[in-house]
Structure 1
């Protein structure tokens, strides 16, 4: 092993640790930890091993204000994970009406993904989310 490759290992580990901390912060709704890192240049659409972004994780766990802040920083509100699920479909599954409203205000498409948010909301009989989707068009 050369000196350079030994130096690269800790840096690689630091990058992985930073990515994991960002994803954990999104999952936990910890905007104080996540947003400054993004503001300093970390990728807003960073993906985990399943293709979930911070916005997807924040949305799925019901953190409406963090979702709003991520969208304002350029997060793709329609970026599907590796299973073809959009953030809005995940929210429809979980029943997070406030997050659905934020995503729709940010331009999320209710018909993307498999199943789509519209299909998911209908299947799980999420009346409030169905009404939001109908208002959005």
Structure 2
């Protein structure tokens, strides 16, 4: 597929994610949109779906090959998809990410930032934190939640 077509498909994919349109997302992925192609700012489609709380779209992206542990790097949208979903208390999206292999203890910012559990506890999003703990998320021994 040529670069121009892929860029156009990617643009439409980001629009579908922003509007929560799972049907269009599925169709675009079927037509060849990359589930991991970043937008011009460096944001990944899965990060955007996760921060928006679009669990079904996140599932579609991962089934199409998006890795649940790849960090996004856009301004204001940097970090892992699981941290993004946990930060906003999107429990169903957290479940989807974990079901597709997201690491519940992976720190964002190349290992120097917060964990998903720290985001959920700091939210506070107790339901999301409980899902993370059930998946094996461990509290950080060197950080207190209030110290973030």
TM-score (norm 1): 0.81
Residue in 1 aligned with 2:48? 57
Unaligned 5+ residue runs, structure 2? 137-148
Aligned residues: 127
Which of the residues 105, 108, 111 maps onto 2:99?
105
Instruction: Quote the RMSD (CA, aligned, Å).
Output: 2.1
Q: Which structure features the higher share of strand residues?
A: 2
1 CA distance for matches of 2:104 and 2:15?
26
**Which ranges of structure 1 fall in alignment gaps of 5 or more residues?**
1-10
Deviant stretches of 4+, over 2 Å: 14-19
> What is aligned with 2:25?
34
Q: 1:40 to 1:16 in 2, by over 3 A?
A: closer
What's the secondary structure of 1:82's corresponding residue? strand
CA contact (8 A) 1:79 1:86 kept: yes
